[in-house]
Chains A and B, each alone.
Chain A
Amino acid sequence: MSFVPGQPVTAVVQRIEIQKLRQGNNLILGFSIGGGIDQDPGQNPFSEDKTDKGIYVTRITSGGPADVAGLMMGDKIMQVNGWDMTMVTHDKARKRLTKKNEDVVRLLVTRKSLEEAVKHSMGGYPRP
């Protein structure tokens, strides 16, 4: 999940679609994010590479829209509705996720188990 400056980032991602829940005046998604290019990457407990300044999911309220959609704690969010999340500030990420005129957010998330699953599935059986 680390990046080499100048090279394109390659990752195995999962598409997750979350329906926002209306709670009073707010539309909530039911998870918390951490990280950003203005934050301290060394404090991130979920990242493999401690210089990774991406946006990570730090907490999921159980039963909330994110939990229902399949988001897991420790996921790194790569895109939100087509907008890139790998090089944004923390506040920008928050704003992208909490736009009042959107009901649905489509995330591309990546996690380590996805990579391993792909590797196993590709290397396990020989192609016919």
Chain B
Amino acid sequence: MDNESQYSGYSYKSSHSRSSRKHRDRRDRHRSKSRDSSSRGDKSVTIQTPGEPLLDAESTRGDDRDDNWGETTTVVTGTSEHSISNEDLTRVTKDLEESTPLECKRFIGPALGGCLSFFALVTPLAFLILPQVLWRDALEPCGTPCEGLYVSLAFKLLVLLISSWALFLRSPRATLPRFFVFRCLLMVLVFLFVASYWLFYGVRVLEPRERDYRGIVEYAASLVDALLFIQYLALVLLEVRHMQPAFCLKVVRSTDGASKFYNVGHLSIQRAAVWVLDRYYSDFTVYNPALLNLPKSILSKKMTGFKVYSLDESTTNNSTGQSRAMIAAAARRRDNSHNEYYYEEAEMDRRIRKRKARLVVAVEEAFTHIKRLHEDEAASSPKHPREVMDPREAAQAIFAPMARAMQKYLRTTRQQAFHSMESILTHLQFCITHNMTPKAFLERYLGPGPTMQYQQQGGRGRQWTLVSEEPVTSALRQGLVFSLRRLDFSLVVTVTSLPFLRLGEEFIDPKSHKFVMRLQSETSV
């Protein structure tokens, strides 16, 4: 609950009920949205990637939140850091409910693959051991060639094991809506191979109790060879084929138009979507809904429409004529809102620059108050007993003078939703520990960083919806458009193929670089 400490960051006045009601509304809206999309008929399927749904659900509430912690923080008491208000509690519970539940579906694929590969690796050993166990006396002894085969078998199995570990043993980072075609193909292939080998083994070796042990060892060696080749196929299909660039993807965020171009190879739509989302988190600046709207003062001067009266009695086909007339009249009327927009922008720039200057000066001054204590200094100055602090305390000590300037700057640039006071203190502590300058400390706040910077680790997953008109396992091709939707914005991806390059050759002899002066002579005759 709220107490009177200076550090309770969210000391609301009377808005507990308001915030919790808002949480409930948001959750309901989210659920009804997903129901709508599935009934609409276009193929919208779900991609879940790890992460946490933290900020985008909250950031639209940023204006309401009371950020007066800068004004109330005067004295560092150090005793009341762990106060948590009601709002924190509701926020935490909402997070837990909204994040995607841990689905078993995520682990079925890797589990199946793991079983299959274990089975495949154990099979050659089983082929070798079973005859020894079952009919050892009847086997023909097999000397040096068998030993050579044993050694090669052992090494090939070792190589298979190590490369499987290196390539395939990774925790999955995304669940795709449809089956990953190549992976399924490979698993089916491995299964068929191993099954057919077992079949032949059962019929030809176990039944008649084959006595030629060398043949059995060669049979097992051929299985291991086949597995190595399948692994080569897997490497090519899963890892190598999509490395060579073939398409250029243009990714545009629907809300503010931030766009990037990427070169990808031959991928299916769902794999390309995962690829794009990987890049989205580190390349795109964070989505700030507070920056989208024009200031209300400009848009409120709407032109009042006027009514059009038709004098004749017929009422057919009047609506298009009416609207066209209104649009024409509106275009002719003088509109000064662009003027106001221009001046508003200039004023906003000036304000931001002023606040930034104040912030920079405040931070620089704050950083001059502390300095790092070296080992030898501690012992050699007993007459100046200075209080020795750990980084956390040092951060708290110098935070107070810069807090107000920081809060004002964040509010002007509409970033206050992304940085809580706690996060600023943690960052300050981090910078002090690593001997960073004030400029390095401020780098995080002076510009919008990539979305990854604002994520919190250890979440359950980020829900993205892939909306496309084609089946999502089809390959990319020229002119395809699909979009990746989240709750309040979407990324529209357009595919164009890279142009075919016709490279010609021209040889220039280094001795052929010769020059003459331009002539303009005048002769008198």
Contacts and interface: CB of A to CB of B under 8 A. Distances in A.
A115 to B, nearest CB: 25
A32 B522 contact: yes
Contact of A59 (B518, B519, B520, B524): B524
Contact of B518 (A32, A33, A34, A40): A40
A37 B244 CA distance: 54
Contacts, number: 37
B520 A33 contact: no
A76 to B, nearest CB: 15
Interface string A24-62: 000011011110001110011000000000000011000
A28 B523 CA distance: 12
Contact of B520 (A31, A32, A39, A94): A39
Contact of A58 (B518, B519, B522): B522
B523 A32 contact: yes
Contacts of A28: 524-525
B521 interface: yes
A98 interface: yes
A33 B520 CA distance: 11
A106 interface: no
Q: Per DSSP, are chain B's interface residues mostly helix, strand or loop, or mixed? A: loop
A90 interface: yes
Interface string B60-104: 000000000000000000000000000000000000000000000
Nearest to A31: B525
A34 B525 contact: no
A19 to B, nearest CB: 14
Contacts of A29: 525
A40 to B, nearest CB: 4
Interface size class of B (residues with CB under 8 A): under 10
A97 interface: yes
Interface string B490-525: 000000000000000000000000000011111111
B525 A40 contact: no
A59 B525 contact: no
Interface residues of A, number: 17
B517 to A, nearest CB: 9
B519 A33 contact: no
Interface string B179-213: 00000000000000000000000000000000000
Interface in B106-164: none
A63 to B, nearest CB: 15
A72 B518 CA distance: 27
Contacts of A59: 522, 524
A93 to B, nearest CB: 8
A106 to B, nearest CB: 15
A105 B520 CA distance: 25
A59 B522 CA distance: 9
A45 to B, nearest CB: 10
A34 B524 CA distance: 9
A38 B519 contact: yes
Nearest to B519: A39
B521 A39 contact: yes
B519 A94 contact: no
Contacts of B523: 32-34, 90, 94
Contact of A98 (B519, B520, B521, B525): B525
B31 to A, nearest CB: 76
A79 B113 CA distance: 95
A54 B6 CA distance: 92
Contacts of A33: 522-525
A34 B520 CA distance: 7
Most A CB within 10 A of own CB, among B520, B521, B524, B525: B525
B520 to A, nearest CB: 4
Interface in B318-343: none
Nearest to A39: B519
A64 B15 CA distance: 105
The 4 closest A-B pairs by CB, nearest first: A32-B524, A43-B520, A40-B518, A34-B522
24 contacts: A28-B524, A29-B525, A31-B524, A31-B525, A32-B523, A32-B524, A32-B525, A33-B524, A33-B525, A34-B520, A34-B521, A34-B522, A39-B519, A39-B520, A39-B521, A40-B518, A40-B519, A43-B520, A44-B520, A59-B524, A90-B523, A94-B525, A97-B525, A98-B525
Interface of B: 518-525
